[in-house]
């Protein structure tokens, strides 16, 4: 509607001759500007409200077994090349689960600003969550070349190596992230993923050690309860496994992983076979 009004005024400008015509056009332009300014303010308010919806959506967590997106909201600044706009868009799309759209937006950000580490890190997140593991590994490797102490990027490399079953490299990166200990969330996930690595290798005692640390560092990381229970179950500690799943089920009744903990309790009560794979 505003665009149509603009085009109508533009057409009138081309044929205006008398002073009265010009004065009327001037008033129309001022009125259009004011309405447009109001609309922009309202849309900006709506955009901020949508960001709030994104934050609330993120709190629901994930039930797909992958890493929960933990990227902090980008510190957006005005720039003459527009890269920050694509960074913010990429962050929002990752949060909403549109990983393909995020990759497209963040690739554009990297085209505009190739040295933007923030955009590069987010691109790696999007690629990883979209299961483009080779691309994500290459992206995070470039981040680590610039920032060797970036613990979260190192944890993500460790997770990718876990998914690709390159266990030696996974242990190396995750252990280094724990030694860095400069990012609480990275330390939490490094312990959790190390537990999964050792579980996959059948080294249940080591797996329990790291998964127990993960539960201690992040009581709300319900998937850690689920996998700790599986580790205890397969190491012959069935009663302890049931206690762990019960604690996970009570930690957050509405979380997807809490429901899976309850499913394990129900399965064990019926004498069913506990799956070795988290996705079974």
Same domain, 139 and 189: no
Of the pLDDT bands very low, low, confident and very high (cuts 50, 70, 90), residue 145 is very high
Residue with tokens 């939490």: 188
Both structure tokens of 227: 């996998």
Same domain, 209 and 166: yes
**What pLDDT score does 14 carry?**
67
**54-86 exposure pattern, b = at least 16 Cβ within 10 A, e = fewer:** eeeebeebbeebebebebeebeeeeeeeebbbb
Same domain, 228 and 197: no
* Mean pLDDT of the 119-131 span: 94
Of the pLDDT bands very low, low, confident and very high (cuts 50, 70, 90), residue 280 is very low
- Structural domain contains residue 22: no
Query: Cβ neighbours of residue 266 under 8 Å, at least 6 residues apart?
Result: none
- Structural domain contains residue 275: yes
- Structural domain contains residue 14: no
- Cα 253 to chain centroid, rounded: 22
- Cα 147 to chain centroid, rounded: 20
Same domain, 144 and 175: no
* Mean pLDDT of the 92-121 span: 91
Same domain, 103 and 119: yes
Of the pLDDT bands very low, low, confident and very high (cuts 50, 70, 90), residue 210 is very high
pLDDT in tens, 146-195: 999 999 999 999 999 999 999 999 999 999 999 999 999 999 999 999 99
- Structural domain contains residue 264: yes
Same domain, 137 and 175: no
Beta carbons of 102 and 119 less than 8 angstroms apart: no
- Structural domain contains residue 91: no
- Structural domain contains residue 20: no
Same domain, 198 and 223: no
CB count in 10 Å sphere of residue 25: 15
**CATH code of the domain in which 179 resides:** 1.25.40
Range of the domain at 250: 219-280
- Three-state SS for the chain is CHHHHHHHHHHHHCCCCCHHHHHHHHHHHHHHHHHHHHHHHHHHHHHHHHHHHHHHHHCCCCCCCCCCCCCCCCCCCCCCCCHHHHHHHHHHHHHHCCHHHHHHHHHHHHHHCCCCHHHHHHHHHHHHHCCCHHHHHHHHHHHHHHCCCCHHHHHHHHHHHHHCCCHHHHHHHHHHHHHHCCCHHHHHHHHHHHHHHHHHCCCHHHHHHHHHHHHHHCCCCHHHHHHHHHHHHHCCCHHHHHHHHHHHHHHCCCCHHHHHHHHHHHHHHCCCCCCCCCCC
- Structural domain contains residue 36: no
pLDDT in tens, 214-243: 999 999 999 999 999 999 999 999 999 999
CA distance linking residue 239 with residue 261, whole number of Å: 14
Boundary-marking domain end, from 148, 180, 205: 148
- Structural domain contains residue 123: yes
Per the structure, how many domains does the chain have?
Answer: 3
Same domain, 278 and 225: yes
């Amino acid at each position: 509607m505003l665009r149509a009004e603009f085009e109508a005024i533009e057409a009138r400008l081309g044929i205006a001759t008398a002073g009265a015509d010009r004065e009327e056009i001037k008033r129309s332009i001022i009125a259009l500007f004011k309405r447009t300014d109001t609309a922009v303010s309202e849309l900006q308010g709506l955009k901020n409200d949508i960001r709030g919806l994104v934050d609330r959506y993120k709190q629901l967590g994930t039930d797909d077994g992958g890493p929960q997106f933990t990227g902090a909201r980008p510190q957006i600044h005005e720039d003459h090349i527009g890269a920050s706009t694509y960074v913010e868009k990429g962050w929002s799309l990752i949060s909403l689960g549109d990983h393909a759209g995020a990759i497209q937006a963040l690739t554009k950000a990297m085209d505009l600003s190739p040295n933007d580490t923030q955009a590069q890190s987010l691109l790696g997140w999007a690629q990883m969550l979209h299961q483009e593991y080779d691309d994500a590994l290459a992206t995070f490797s470039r981040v680590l070349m610039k920032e060797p102490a970036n613990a979260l990027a190192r944890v993500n490399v460790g997770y990718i190596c876990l998914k690709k079953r390159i266990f030696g490299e996974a242990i190396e990166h995750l252990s280094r992230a724990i030694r860095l200990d400069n990012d609480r969330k990275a330390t939490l996930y490094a312990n959790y993923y190390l537990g999964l690595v050792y579980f996959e290798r059948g080294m249940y005692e080591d797996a329990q050690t790291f998964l127990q640390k993960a539960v201690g560092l992040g009581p709300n990381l319900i998937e850690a309860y689920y996998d700790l229970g599986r580790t205890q179950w397969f190491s012959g500690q069935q009663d302890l496994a049931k206690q762990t799943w019960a604690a996970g089920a009570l930690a957050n009744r509405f979380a997807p992983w809490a429901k899976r903990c309850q499913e394990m309790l129900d399965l064990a009560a019926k004498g069913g076979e506990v799956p070795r794979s988290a996705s079974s």
